Amino acid sequence: MRVFEDLNFFVVDNLPPQLLSKFADLCLHSDGKVQRVAVVTDIRGGEFFDDLFGALGQLERLGVDHQILFLDASDESLVRRFKETRRKHPLSAGRTILQGIRAERRRLEAVKERADKIIDTSALSVRDLRNEILATYVRGQSAGALEISIVSFGYKYGLPMDSDLVFDVRFLPNPHYQPALRPLPGASPQVRRFVLGKRETRAFIRHLYRMVDYLLPQFVQEGKTHLSVAIGCTGGKHRSVVLADELSAHLRRRGFKVRVRHRDIRRE
């Protein structure tokens, strides 16, 4: 479920099959707000689960494209997982865990036969499972894409709490001490020329680009889908704004999806 959420699917857990068509109808009338959906349905639904194929037939009549992903695992793996989590198997009332698992297999045989994709998770790590889902349900160059949020900020107003990477640029020459530049925003050509024209800034940008160019592929390989980068100066109006804009332009040239926010640029 978390993997599909990371891929911007709308995820619903333990939805009774009888509600599938109603839920699909809501999605169809969402004005495009809900386009990709992952619905988890299993034997936790009890007797309601038995109507799954009828519900899928209703989806077909509505013209809703759908696929069945069947997650499987060995008896040994499932028994171990239930014991580790100390959770009760839905069909284990009056039975052992293994008996409950085997009863579940019998009820799911027909679903497995109709599945479009079966993934055996017995020996898969979370990362392996994510890669398998990516390869199956995400097409094109966007597969495994890393979305990056860049925020400029002022240290005097506090660090952004959700930052993955923080770069302190308070060591760079400060336009605040130039009377003609002090009232101007960091996006102004005059401030940009002042900041980017300094030898210290040019050297820092070279090191910054090399660092992020090395780090980002590592984050992608580890399965990270969103990265927050914070760049801070004293007040968050000049140096951090310029550097945030420069870094965003560099990352866009490398093909990343980037959003930029200047948190403190309008503070007094």
pLDDT tens-place string over residues 210-244: 999 999 988 888 777 788 999 999 999 999 999 99
Which of 109, 141, 173 lies at the terminal end of a domain, its last residue?
141
Give the strand pairing for 165-168 and 257-262.
unpaired
Report the pLDDT value the prediction gives residue 45, as an integer from 0 to 100: 65
Q: Identify whether the C-beta of residue 150 lies closer than 8 Å to the C-beta of residue 231.
A: yes
Identify whether the C-beta of residue 43 lies closer than 8 Å to the C-beta of residue 111: no
Quick one: 137 and 185 in the same domain?
no
Q: Which of 180, 32, 177, 19 is nearest to 10 (CA)?
A: 32
Which residue ranges of the chain lie beneath pLDDT 70?
45-48, 139-145
Of 141, 174, 206, the residue that ends a domain is: 141
Give the model's pLDDT for residue 141. 44
Nearest to 218 by CA among 155, 151, 144: 144
Whether residues 81 and 9 fall in one domain = yes
Task: Give the span between the Cα atoms of 127 and 183, in whole angstroms.
Answer: 49
- CA–centroid distance for 38 within its chain: 14
DSSP string, 1-25: -HHHHHTT-EEE-S--GGGHHHHHH
- Other residues' Cβ atoms within 10 Å of the Cβ of residue 72: 15
Structural domain of residue 33, as residue ranges?
A: 2-141
CB 242 within 8 A of CB 192: yes
Q: Are residues 87 and 163 in the same domain?
A: no
- Cα 191 to Cα 197: distance, rounded to the nearest angstrom: 10
Number of separate domains in the chain: 2
pLDDT digits (tens, 9 = 90+) for 24-68: 988 888 888 888 899 998 887 666 677 888 888 988 888 888 888
Q: What is the pLDDT of residue 170?
A: 97
User: What pLDDT, on the 0 to 100 scale, is given for residue 249?
Assistant: 95
Could you tell me if 136 and 246 lie in one domain?
A: no
Helix (H, G, I), strand (E, B) or coil at 262: strand
Q: What is the pTM of this model?
A: 0.59
Say which DSSP state 174 is in: P
Alpha helices (H) in the chain, listed in sequence order? 2-6, 20-28, 52-61, 75-85, 97-114, 126-137, 189-196, 199-221, 239-253
At 140 the pLDDT is 43
Domain boundary among 84, 113, 141: 141
Tell me the Cα Rg of the chain. Answer: 26
Q: What are phi and psi of 226, to 5 degrees?
A: -145, 135
Q: Answer yes or no: is 48 within a domain.
A: yes
- Tell whether 177 is covered by a domain: yes
Residue 122 maps to which CATH number?
3.40.50
Counting other chains too, the contacts that 212-217 makes at CB distance below 8 Å and 24 or more residues apart are 212/165, 212/247, 212/250, 212/251, 213/254, 215/165, 216/146, 216/148, 216/251, 216/254, 216/256
> What pLDDT is attached to residue 179?
94
Asked if residue 101 and residue 30 are part of one domain, the reply reads yes
